[in-house]
Structure formats: C-alpha cells, structure tokens
C-alpha cells in the first residue's frame, strides 16, 4: 500500500509544515494532540477579523446580520458532516471536554439517581472519566468499566455481562487516542439497544471524525462529541450532537445571555435546544474556522483521508517493528493513524527530547489515559499520530531519530 499522491499534494496547504525544528525539516507527528491548520482555515478567520467582525444574534446592522447567518450556517454544515438529522441537534461548546461535562451535569443530573449504573471502558480519556466521577460523588451512581485485551481490543463479552436493568448510560471513545483502536461502536450500541432500548449512549468522537466518515444516525448514538482543533480547525470550539428527545429532556447547563426567552426575578424561561445550552457570547470566529475546516476535509473526502492514513499506518508500523527492543502498544486489527510504543531500557521523555532535536514532534506520557496505562503496565508511551498531511518522509525521520536515541541512550 503506497501513499496517495492526490492526498500528499495537500501538505502544501499547511504553512507551518515548511518550517524547521533545530535546523531539520519538521516531521509533525502529534496531530492526535492538535492538528495543524490549513491556509483555508487561517484565511477564513482572518477575513472575519479584518472585514466582517461583530457580535451575533443581536445587531440589526448588516455586518452583524451577515455574520449571524454565517455562524448558523456552520451549525448546518456540522450536522451534514456527521449525518445529523437537523442543525437543531448541534450544540456548540468550548471543546469535547465541555460537551461531556454538559451531558453529565445536565442530562445526568436530571435522569440519574443513586444506584443507577453507567458503563465506561478502560481506554477512556480522562475527559470521559472525571465528569462521571464528579456526578457519582453528587448522586451515588455506580461506574463500571469494560476491559481491553493485550491488543487493545475491548472485551465485548465482559461488556454484555455488565449490562443490567440498572444500566442507564454507556459512554465510550470511538477511537482510542492512546492506542488507535477503532471501537465497534455500532455493534456496541446495538447490543445495548437489544438489551434495553432506553439505555443512552455517548460516543467521544474526538479521534473519530478526524480519521473517518461518521454518520451518527446510522450509529444510533444518543450523544456524539468532538473538538475542532483536532479536525484542522481552531481551538476553543467543540460540538455536542444530541438526539432531539435527549436534548429536549435536559435542563440548562449554564445561565446567561442568549439562552433565555424571557427573564424576570419571579421566573426565567429558556430557549429550545440547541440555544438553551449556549449561554453568553459564543466563540464566533472559531465557529467560522470550524466551518472552513469541515469544508476543507470534505473537499478532499474523509474516505480518501482514511485510506491515506491507513497506508501510512501500515508503513509506519512495519518500520517501527523492525527496531530492536521496541514494543508496540495497541495492535488491534482495526486501527486509526496512531502508533504508540516504548523501547526497552529507554525513558519515554528522553526519547521525546532526542526526537525533538531531530525535527520530529511526537507526544510522550500517559496521553490523559492513566487507567489505560495502568492496564498496560507502563508509565506512558511515545505516540506518533498521523494527519492528512503526514507522509513517508515523516515516518522515516521518526525511525532515524529513534535509532539515534538508542545509540545515545543505550
């Protein structure tokens, strides 16, 4: 499997990739933490600041009216991108973390009580663990977890055994940010529906929408969350998709302007979703940037991006496995573009610093997945994560840097 030349050409759209680190070409392999931004996103945001900025949902003047229309058009764009039935199912948040917290503190607080059970997995990001622990501390709910095997594959038999009449919610990651495992979320949701149709399911899609096409209706998720900055968009903007009946059953998460119908000291009434959950001035320009990012990846095609990354993942995995003493963590048969590894006798931080000197940007540490690392029996890993702009030269530069690290540290 070789690189797709029709995808590789888009690398030139990312200005930062012409930069150097320590006099070496930049091999950016940390897209799993935050992806680089194409010129189209940068220019779309700059245009607003330079010639079209105002507040929205308020002004009667032309600039405000135009920007309000552009802002709301992104809501429709997001809905189409993930297969949502309506733009009314799309709530803008600061990031995926806030989206999970919104569901926990609004839907969870309204619908869960002491003794109710929720199911997570042992490969969750902290952002899909801690919000539920905070809710547990307030309500007395019970958290159960699904383990994964040595390949990084969830134990679905154990998952089925955890389902009971007390199960009210399942919340799990679409793609593991630490291992790259693509979880069979459609199957997991169907198992839950067959057991008890009223069980709600939240999918953390932060690493899902960036690597593959997503259809939330076909998936049948009640909630799906993701963040803009991993999708080649800006920071400060995230998305919560919710089924209509779920959102309508949720009280406001925060109070303030723009989420109200009428305010009086005796009583305040609130807007319908999604606006009920968007208190205060939103991240206006960041939403425009997210829309530009979605336009950009849609023009390329998510299926083509997925095929490109899969080819690079195969190439990179073969190259890494050839390094003596290197252990791959996360060898599931169905993976996205994430390679996580350790090298016997070498500390991950030392590896990361030497790679930096070689112009290679990777992430080292627990990747906000301490329970996952405990399951693996390691302190952390080195993670190389791919984007649509990644190429074989990046992989080769990584391998050369790792060989240098072995020579210097052994």
Q: What's the pLDDT score for residue 5?
A: 57
Q: What's the pLDDT score for residue 7?
A: 73
Cis before 224? omega within 30: no
Pick the closest to residue 93 from 258, 289, 208, 240 (CA basis).
240
Q: Judge contact between 295 and 201, C-beta under 8 A.
A: no
Asked if residue 295 is part of any domain, the answer here is yes
Helix (H), strand (E) at residue 268: strand 268-270
Same domain membership, residue 279 and residue 152: yes
Total domains, the chain: 2
Asked if residue 222 is part of any domain, the answer here is yes
Residue 303, classified by CB atoms within 10 Å of its CB into exposed (0-12), middle (13-18) or buried (19+), is: exposed
- Residue 356 in this model has a pLDDT that exceeds 70: yes
Q: How many CA atoms lie within 13 A of 147 on its CB side?
A: 8
Q: What's the pLDDT score for residue 410?
A: 81
Q: Residue 315 belongs to a domain with what CATH number?
A: 3.90.1150.10
Range of the domain at 81: 43-299
Same domain membership, residue 333 and residue 190: no
Percent of the chain predicted with pLDDT > 90: 98
Asked if residue 35 is part of any domain, the answer here is no
Percent of the chain predicted with pLDDT > 70: 99
369 in catalytic set: no
- C-alpha 56/C-alpha 60 separation (Å) is 9
Q: Residue 84 belongs to a domain with what CATH number?
A: 3.40.640.10
Pick the closest to residue 11 from 390, 283, 274 (CA basis).
390
Same domain membership, residue 13 and residue 128: no
Q: What is the mean pLDDT of the chain?
A: 97
- Residue 317 in this model has a pLDDT that exceeds 90: yes
Which residue, of 299, 317, 343, is where some domain finishes?
299
Which residue, of 237, 269, 299, is where some domain finishes?
299
Report in angstroms the alpha-carbon separations of 121 from 53, 125, 149, 162, 240. 43, 10, 12, 11, 20
Give the active site residue among 302, 307, 328, 368.
368
Which residue, of 276, 299, 322, is where some domain finishes?
299
Same domain membership, residue 171 and residue 117: yes
């Amino acid at each position: 499997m070789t690189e797709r030349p029709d995808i590789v050409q888009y690398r030139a759209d990312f200005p930062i990739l012409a930069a150097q680190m320590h006099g070496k070409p930049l091999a950016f392999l940390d897209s799993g933490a935050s992806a680089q931004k194409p010129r189209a996103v940068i220019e779309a945001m700059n245009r607003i600041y330079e010639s079209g900025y105002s507040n929205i949902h308020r002004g009667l003047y032309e600039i405000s009216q135009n920007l309000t229309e552009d802002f709301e058009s992104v809501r429709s764009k997001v809905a189409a991108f993930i297969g949502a039935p309506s733009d009314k199912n799309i709530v803008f948040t600061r990031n995926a973390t806030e989206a999970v917290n919104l569901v926990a503190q609004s839907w969870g607080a309204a619908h869960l009580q002491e003794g109710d059970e929720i199911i997570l997995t042992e490969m969750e990001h902290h952002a899909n663990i801690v919000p539920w622990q905070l809710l547990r501390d307030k309500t007395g709910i019970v958290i159960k977890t699904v383990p994964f095997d040595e390949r990084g594959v969830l134990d679905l038999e154990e998952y089925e055994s955890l389902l009971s009449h007390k199960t009210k919610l399942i919340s799990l990651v679409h793609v593991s940010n630490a291992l790259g495992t693509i979880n069979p979320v459609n199957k997991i949701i169907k198992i839950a529906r067959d057991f008890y149709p009223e069980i709600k399911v939240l999918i953390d899609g932060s690493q899902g929408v960036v690597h593959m096409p997503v259809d939330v209706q076909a998936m049948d998720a009640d909630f799906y969350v993701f963040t803009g900055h991993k999708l080649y968009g800006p920071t400060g903007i995230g998305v919560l998709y919710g089924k209509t009946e779920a959102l309508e059953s949720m009280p406001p998460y925060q109070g303030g302007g723009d989420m109200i119908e009428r305010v009086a000291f005796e009583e305040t009434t609130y807007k319908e979703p999604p606006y009920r959950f968007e208190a205060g001035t939103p991240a206006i320009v960041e939403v425009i940037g997210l829309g530009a990012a979605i336009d950009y990846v849609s023009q390329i095609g998510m299926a083509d991006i997925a095929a490109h990354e899969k080819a690079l993942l195969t190439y990179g995995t073969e190259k890494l496995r050839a390094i003596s003493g290197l252990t791959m963590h996360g060898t599931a048969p169905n993976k996205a573009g994430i390679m996580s590894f350790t090298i016997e006798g070498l500390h991950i931080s030392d590896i990361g610093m030497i790679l930096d000197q070689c112009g290679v940007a990777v992430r080292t540490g627990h990747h906000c997945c301490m329970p996952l690392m405990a399951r693996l029996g390691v302190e952390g890993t080195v993670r190389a994560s791919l984007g649509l702009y990644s190429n074989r030269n990046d992989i080769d530069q990584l391998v050369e840097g790792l060989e240098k690290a072995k020579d210097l540290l052994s």
